[in-house]
A and B are shown apart, each in its own frame.
Chain A
């Protein structure tokens, strides 16, 4: 039996700790709690948690600064707790290196699913640092041969579409912001051309999704970016 994963919960509200702690323990995790940003940075570097759940509204320092400070030394998955209406805050957090976000209020099931997904991804990355092939549900991406197949049949993708699916696949389960994707594939000069991205995502969905109108593979994070689902894998 592997050791229980350690989760660091960072929130200044005692009410949040009150239900998160017992629920996460009951789900088989070990928990640590921090009520301030400073405490969070210390615990994150000293005790090496496996996942950090971080509320952005902290009393002492901005949650974004906490992300930057942790990212300086660690690649630990960070899931941000934020309000639905704070897109810019979420985007800034993701651009600073947060892996995911959950809107408050949230259900435990949702949070647990995210935590598990990031733990899985982390194990996968630890096992193979530069993966050359991905399987997402019925989709197979082979980077070396530059091929994508769906249910065994080859799908023809343009070079940009291929780059896009590889980028998403490498970060499956993570939210990638529009800026991030645009910067990686089209270059920093196009970081604000969200319209490009919409078109290419639409084409990818046409070629890869069972029902492009109801995407289950390439998920939209409204106002923030896209995420490649890793549930199917």
Chain B
């Protein structure tokens, strides 16, 4: 099978060492020629001159294949001299007596040169192929890594890794930040760059062209820099320094480096686009929230206002003959709607404060049961007709937190439970101690929450069941509650239905600190 033969041949080539530089090549050529001469001297009684020249041709071939074209050619020259000196009469001189032997010798020399250079060339081609295959493999890996990268950092990390492997040296990526260039990625480690390097990098960045390292023995930059030509990403440059003495990146690696840079630039542009798209999405989301806020305002702010203004103007209208009973009801309506408005505005302000400043918890020792009682007192005042039960049996150690905010959370959740179990539902509150936490549960026996709505009830402005008979609210209460609970290191979650397809239970879990407070 020609294919498998070729593969085997390739693997043989691959096993070969790198071609030798000139001094070493001369040494090896001398040794090989000496060995061939020794063999020739032993075999000379039985071998004609043609046989001896074949031995020399063979070693030229071996030298060229094994050690490269330089060694091959050196061996040809030495073999030519050795054949002449040791075997062509008069022996041990470089003179030749018989003209026919001169022709044979020259023919041998020509054959040796051709053999040596051809075999050496083949070897080089094989070597290049091997390099090329390795480069391609690495590029594939690199491309795969880039396609999975979602942020700039990953891409730059992959880039320096790839570049360092390709040139077998050091690589670094620099990016302008303010007036300085800073290292944003490096392989194998962050190098010490001198002024010349920084100047080179800066020039590469400005001219958008490669800036090469100084020649060996000359003062100047150790790294060469190439710009990463992104279309819209932040500008940056790749610095390269081969580990071997040569200061210049090998020509053979040039194309590979360029390809890597192109890949990286495309990937950087892609992440930038992605980021822009995400920003646009966020903006749309923001817009959606804003319009939700507006509709919440127009619905929940205007209805109480309409009720208040309508009732007040009715009461003041002298043309209307209102009964005493009607007057009392209109006044009650005004009071209720005004307190609803106050609650609404308070929630909005809380939300705005939480959004703008984050959570400012006055870290203090608070008693969960006490806070709950306070919140329930407020809730009972608002809904005097509704049964709200709370009978703590266990003593819960105090937790670190903000008493006012925590009371606010409990009130919000309880009020929500009361609203959504109208008109006559009951709300039960329980406080239990777990291993490392305290669980406060607020359970109502209302109609419960739909499975599809359940995951969203803590979202800003989210309100289940729009429309008919909808209890008024801001859609903010539970969002605020979650912010505050999470600010206390706790969690808040909702279950529904609780039993017999009815009811909702909100569980607030707060961690109990391991250290008890010292009085």
B467 interface residue per 8 A CB criterion: yes
User: Contact size class for A?
Assistant: 20 to 34
In the bound complex, what is the Cα–Cα distance between A85 and B322 (angstroms)?
33
A57 interface residue per 8 A CB criterion: yes
Asked if residues A20 and B310 are in contact (CB atoms below 8 Å), the reply is yes
> 0/1 per residue, A49-80, Cβ < 8 Å to B?
00000000111100000000000000000000
> 0/1 per residue, A17-60, Cβ < 8 Å to B?
01110110011000000011000000000000000000001111
Which one, A22, A83, A107, contacts B329 given CB within 8 A? Answer: A22
* Contact partners of B323 in chain A: CB under 8 A: 22, 26
Which parts of B482-501 form the interface with A (CB within 8 Å)? Answer: none
Asked if residues A109 and B298 are in contact (CB atoms below 8 Å), the reply is no
* Contact partners of A15 in chain B: CB under 8 A: 303-304, 306-307, 333, 337
**Given A18-B333, A59-B468, are A108 and B299 also a contact pair (CB < 8 Å)?**
no
In the bound complex, what is the Cα–Cα distance between A20 and B330 (angstroms)?
10
Which one, B309, B466, B468, contacts A106 given CB within 8 A? Answer: B309
Asked if residues B470 and A59 are in contact (CB atoms below 8 Å), the reply is yes
In the bound complex, what is the Cα–Cα distance between A13 and B306 (angstroms)?
10
Which parts of B273-306 form the interface with A (CB within 8 Å)? Answer: 298-299, 302-306
Residue of B nearest to A13 (CB): B303
* Contact partners of A207 in chain B: CB under 8 A: none
A160 interface residue per 8 A CB criterion: no
* Contact partners of B313 in chain A: CB under 8 A: 107-109
In the bound complex, what is the Cα–Cα distance between A86 and B337 (angstroms)?
23
* Contact partners of B330 in chain A: CB under 8 A: 18-19, 22
Asked if residues B314 and A19 are in contact (CB atoms below 8 Å), the reply is yes
In the bound complex, what is the Cα–Cα distance between A23 and B333 (angstroms)?
13
* Contact partners of B302 in chain A: CB under 8 A: 83, 104-105
In the bound complex, what is the Cα–Cα distance between A26 and B308 (angstroms)?
18
* Contact partners of A106 in chain B: CB under 8 A: 306, 309-310
* Contact partners of B309 in chain A: CB under 8 A: 105-107
A12 interface residue per 8 A CB criterion: yes
* Contact partners of A104 in chain B: CB under 8 A: 302-303, 305-306
A16 interface residue per 8 A CB criterion: yes
B320 interface residue per 8 A CB criterion: yes
Asked if residues B310 and A23 are in contact (CB atoms below 8 Å), the reply is yes
Which parts of B75-121 form the interface with A (CB within 8 Å)? Answer: none
B394 interface residue per 8 A CB criterion: no
B321 interface residue per 8 A CB criterion: yes
* Contact partners of B468 in chain A: CB under 8 A: 12, 35-36, 59-60
Asked if residues A85 and B314 are in contact (CB atoms below 8 Å), the reply is no
Asked if residues A22 and B310 are in contact (CB atoms below 8 Å), the reply is no
Most chain A CB within a 10 A radius of its CB, from B303, B306, B320, B466: B306
In the bound complex, what is the Cα–Cα distance between A78 and B333 (angstroms)?
27
**Count of chain B residues near A, Cβ 8 A:** 30
Total A-B Cβ pairs within 8 A: 87
Which parts of B313-347 form the interface with A (CB within 8 Å)? Answer: 313-314, 317, 319-323, 326, 329-330, 333, 337
Which one, B310, B326, B329, contacts A108 given CB within 8 A? Answer: B310
Which parts of B431-489 form the interface with A (CB within 8 Å)? Answer: 466-470
In the bound complex, what is the Cα–Cα distance between A104 and B304 (angstroms)?
10
Asked if residues B303 and A108 are in contact (CB atoms below 8 Å), the reply is no
Most chain A CB within a 10 A radius of its CB, from B304, B309, B329: B309
In the bound complex, what is the Cα–Cα distance between A12 and B469 (angstroms)?
7
In the bound complex, what is the Cα–Cα distance between A18 and B307 (angstroms)?
8
Residue of B nearest to A28 (CB): B321
> 0/1 per residue, B184-226, Cβ < 8 Å to A?
0000000000000000000000000000000000000000000
In the bound complex, what is the Cα–Cα distance between A27 and B309 (angstroms)?
17
B161 interface residue per 8 A CB criterion: no
Which one, B305, B306, B329, B466, contacts A59 given CB within 8 A? Answer: B466
Which one, B305, B320, B467, B470, contacts A27 given CB within 8 A? Answer: B320
Which one, A22, A107, A112, contacts B322 given CB within 8 A? Answer: A22
Asked if residues B326 and A22 are in contact (CB atoms below 8 Å), the reply is yes
* Contact partners of B307 in chain A: CB under 8 A: 13, 15-16, 18-19
Asked if residues B467 and A26 are in contact (CB atoms below 8 Å), the reply is no
* Contact partners of B467 in chain A: CB under 8 A: 12, 58-60
* Contact partners of B271 in chain A: CB under 8 A: none
* Contact partners of B303 in chain A: CB under 8 A: 13, 15-16, 104
**7 smallest beta-carbon distances between A and B, as pairs:** A59-B467, A59-B468, A107-B313, A105-B306, A15-B307, A23-B314, A26-B320
Known: A23-B317, A105-B302. 12 other contacts (CB 8 A): A12-B469, A13-B306, A16-B306, A18-B307, A22-B314, A22-B322, A22-B329, A27-B320, A105-B308, A105-B310, A108-B314, A109-B317
B residues whose Cβ falls under 8 Å from a Cβ of A = 298-299, 302-311, 313-314, 317, 319-323, 326, 329-330, 333, 337, 466-470
15 intermolecular pairs with C-beta atoms under 8 Å apart: A12-B468, A15-B304, A18-B307, A18-B330, A18-B333, A19-B310, A22-B322, A26-B320, A59-B468, A83-B298, A105-B306, A105-B310, A106-B306, A108-B310, A109-B317
